[in-house]
Structure 1
Amino acid sequence: MPYKRDDSPYWWISFKTPAGRYVRRSSGTDDKAAAAAIENQARADAWKEKEWGVNPPRTFEEVIVPYLQHARQHQRSYETTAHRVKQLRKHFAAQIVNDLGGQSIRDYITARTQDGASAATVNRELAAFSAAINWCNTELEWALPNPVKGRTMKEPEGRVRWITRAEVDALCRAAREGRNGALLEDFVRLAVNTGCRKEELLGMEWRRVDLHNRLLYLEGEHTKAGKRRSIPLNQGALSALLGRQAFRAEHCPASPWVFARADGERAVSIRVGFENACKRAGIVDFVIHDLRHTCAAHLISAGVALAEVRDLLGHSTITMTERYAHLAPARVRDAVGILDGLSAERDEVVSRSRYAENPVRLISKEGKRL
């Protein structure tokens, strides 16, 4: 029997399938009679599936709603997934997933591209759709085709924007001129010297700061990859933390947050202040995440191994770190330098070989053998 929920304008259906599985989902309509008909059809499809082995049609909502319920409980990036689903819903709402094919996905790509979405954005949206289908096939034991597989767009090389040490200093001076300037300057210096992500720093608590051993501790719940790691602190990072410690002692000694406002509350966003500081410093096309790129670029340029940079930044694979490899030309220069030695050795061997074959022909102008 259809029922109403406070958080939805539509009627919901609920029943137990012959296989013993409970189904609770939105009918997608605010008409009770239509919702009852949808529920009866769903019951009939469940019976056919159990008794005849028929693969019943599944609408987009039937696939996406249970997946989102799962994602809400198990994904740290649930809000991002939900945002991507909004775009998918505009195109695939009320469509039968069983009937979707390659042309359906190409139509979606065309529509989103015309809207101005980048290849990376479209691919992430389609990845969410693919994940929902795969989840339903695994967890609900459905046998849905996955039209997304093998049909993503080619993405351009990942963006790597970084600034020099002099520009970092200029940015810090500009940050001090703005509102909450000390906080923003300390954030910039800590980000550049640790390579931490924005949320890893803004969510940093003092209990995870070890000034004695010069370490920051990140648990799996705080990192994008879900893996714990420790970040060593150099003098620049330590100075920024000592500045935050002095601010805390003066304004909010009970606050657990490293980047706290004067009232002790956590600083949630620094975007506006950061953008204004970039304008004052004359730095263009630069966002907060580029501070992380800057840290990696400085390390690679100084000759630090890619594997060590990977561990510091917390990349799950070396592939992510390899986008900075072009910043270490000295490493490649040393490699090709080996060819010079090989060429000299080869020339000497060839010369000796020619002399052994015909010593008479190798005569100098003075008439001496070479």
Structure 2
Amino acid sequence: MPYKRADSPYWWIFVKQSDGKRTRRSAGTTDFAAAKALEQQSRADAWKEKEWGVNPPRSFEEVMLPYLRNASQHQRSYETTTHRVKALRAQFTGVVMNALDGPQIRAYTTKRHAAGASAATINRELAALSAAINWCNVEYEWALPNPVKGRTMREPEGRVRWLTRAEVESLCRVASKQRNGALLVDFIHLAVNTGCRKEEMLGLEWRRVDLVNRLIYLEGQHTKAGKRRSIPLNDGAMDALKGRMAYRAEACPGSPWVFARATGDRVASIRQGFVSACKSAHIDDLVIHDLRHTCAAHLISAGVALAEVRDLLGHSTIMMTERYAHLAPARVRAAVRVLDGLREHGSSRLVHAAVPAHQGGALLKLVTP
């Protein structure tokens, strides 16, 4: 029987699945009779599915709502996922997912692209739709088609923006003159010396800072990958933390947060101050996350191995770190120096050797006297 909830203007109904499980969902109507009819139809569909093997129609809402309620809430990107679903809802509300096909996915891609959405944004939105379909197929055994597979857009190479050391110092000089400038300067220095993400730093508590052993400890709930890691502290990072410690001792001795306001509360955002500092320092096209790129770029340029940078930054795979590989010219300098050696000693020369046409024609051959 339909019932009312205090947090919803609509009637809610009980729906019995073919496996006997009962779920509750909004009927999407304020009409009691319509809600009751929908509940009875759902029971009839479940019976047909169980007894006759008929796969009843599933709407976009029937697929997305239980996914968001049961699966996506355990994701770290839950808020981002719900934001992506808003774009999907505008196109797929009322669509029967049993009949979802490739042309509908292409139509969505075309529409979003025309609206100015990037290929990466569209792909993430379609990934949310695909995940919801897969979740329902596993949990409810609905056997819905998933035409998203193979229909994502080609994305351009990932953006890598980083600062030189001179630019970092210029940005810090400007930031220090702003309101709460010392906090922003310490944030910038800690970011470029540890490679931590914004939320990893703003959510950092003093209990996870080991100044004796010069380490920061991040548990699974604090990292994007959900894996714990420890971050060593160099002198630059130590100076930033000591600056925060001095501020804490003076303004908010009882605060557990490294980046705290005078009230002791955690700093929620530094975006406004960061944007203002970039503008004053005449640094364009820079976001907070680029401080993390800066740390990686400086390490790779100094010859640190990709695997070590991966471990420091907490990348899930080496592929994420390889986008900085072009900043490591030392890897190929040794190779081209071989040619210098050949030229200087004159011990070898390159000549053409005749090779049969079926083997590729002329071939450069290294001949040693």
What is the TM-score with the length of structure 1 in the denominator?
Answer: 0.91
Q: What SS class does the counterpart of residue 24 from structure 1 fall into?
A: strand
Matched ranges for 1:160-239 at <5 A? 160-239=160-239
Describe the superposition over 1:59-78 as per-residue Cα deviations: whole angstroms up to 9, x where unpaired.
00100111001235411211
1:292 counterpart residue number: 292
Aligned partners of 1:135 and 1:343: how far apart in 2? 63
2:102 counterpart residue number: 102
2:271 counterpart residue number: 271
Aligned residue identity for 2:85: V
Q: What SS class does the counterpart of residue 91 from structure 1 fall into?
A: helix
RMSD: 2.0
Describe the superposition over 1:1-46 as per-residue Cα deviations: whole angstroms up to 9, x where unpaired.
2222222232221143453211211222222222222211111110
- Provide closer, same or farther for how the CA distance between residues 245 and 100 of structure 1 changes in structure 2, counting only shifts above 3 A: same
Aligned partners of 2:158 and 2:165: how far apart in 1? 23
Aligned partners of 1:347 and 1:49: how far apart in 2? 81
Aligned residue identity for 1:68: L
Aligned residue identity for 1:152: T
Aligned residue identity for 2:10: Y
Query: For structure 1, which segment, 268-277 or 19-28, has the greater mean C-alpha deviation from structure 2 after superposition?
Result: 19-28
Q: Is this contact kept in 1: 2:342–2:348, CA < 8 A?
A: no
2:58 counterpart residue number: 58
Matched ranges for 1:204-353 at <5 A? 204-338=204-338, 348=348
Cα drift, residue 55 of structure 1:
1.1
- Provide closer, same or farther for how the CA distance between residues 43 and 262 of structure 1 changes in structure 2, counting only shifts above 3 A: same
Q: What SS class does the counterpart of residue 12 from structure 2 fall into?
A: strand
Aligned partners of 2:198 and 2:78: how far apart in 1? 18
Aligned residue identity for 1:241: L
Q: What SS class does the counterpart of residue 231 from structure 1 fall into?
A: strand
Q: What SS class does the counterpart of residue 162 from structure 2 fall into?
A: coil
Aligned residue identity for 2:156: P
Aligned residue identity for 2:140: L
2:19 counterpart residue number: 19
Number of matched pairs: 353
Aligned partners of 2:28 and 2:344: how far apart in 1? 77
Cα drift, residue 333 of structure 1:
2.1
Query: For structure 1, which segment, 179-188 or 66-75, has the greater mean C-alpha deviation from structure 2 after superposition?
Result: 66-75
Aligned residue identity for 1:329: P
Residue 140 of structure 2 is aligned to residue 140 of structure 1: yes
- Provide closer, same or farther for how the CA distance between residues 191 and 350 of structure 1 changes in structure 2, counting only shifts above 3 A: closer
Cα drift, residue 344 of structure 1:
9.2
- Provide closer, same or farther for how the CA distance between residues 350 and 301 of structure 1 changes in structure 2, counting only shifts above 3 A: closer
Aligned partners of 1:117 and 1:350: how far apart in 2? 53
Describe the superposition over 1:254-299 as per-residue Cα deviations: whole angstroms up to 9, x where unpaired.
1000000011000000000000011111111101000000000000
Aligned residue identity for 2:240: A
Aligned partners of 1:59 and 1:113: how far apart in 2? 25
Identity among equivalent positions (%) equals 73
Which consecutive unaligned segments of at least 5 residues does structure 1 have? Answer: 352-369
Aligned partners of 2:283 and 2:295: how far apart in 1? 17
Cα drift, residue 346 of structure 1:
11
Aligned residue identity for 2:159: R
- Provide closer, same or farther for how the CA distance between residues 331 and 56 of structure 1 changes in structure 2, counting only shifts above 3 A: same
Which consecutive unaligned segments of at least 5 residues does structure 2 have? Answer: 352-368
Q: What SS class does the counterpart of residue 166 from structure 1 fall into?
A: helix
Describe the superposition over 1:108-138 as per-residue Cα deviations: whole angstroms up to 9, x where unpaired.
1111111111000000000001000001111
2:90 counterpart residue number: 90
Aligned partners of 1:65 and 1:341: how far apart in 2? 67
What is the TM-score with the length of structure 2 in the denominator?
Answer: 0.91
Aligned partners of 1:201 and 1:158: how far apart in 2? 24
Aligned partners of 1:87 and 1:70: how far apart in 2? 20
Aligned partners of 1:249 and 1:276: how far apart in 2? 28
Q: What SS class does the counterpart of residue 265 from structure 1 fall into?
A: coil
1:49 counterpart residue number: 49
Q: Is this contact kept in 2: 1:71–1:78, CA < 8 A?
A: no
Q: Is this contact kept in 1: 2:61–2:93, CA < 8 A?
A: yes
Aligned partners of 1:339 and 1:5: how far apart in 2? 78
Query: For structure 1, which segment, 118-127 or 7-16, has the greater mean C-alpha deviation from structure 2 after superposition?
Result: 7-16
Q: What SS class does the counterpart of residue 12 from structure 1 fall into?
A: strand
Describe the superposition over 1:58-108 as per-residue Cα deviations: whole angstroms up to 9, x where unpaired.
100100111001235411211111111111111101111111100000011
Aligned partners of 2:171 and 2:16: how far apart in 1? 61
Q: What SS class does the counterpart of residue 204 from structure 2 fall into?
A: coil
Aligned partners of 1:168 and 1:329: how far apart in 2? 22
Aligned residue identity for 1:195: G
Aligned partners of 2:345 and 2:96: how far apart in 1? 69
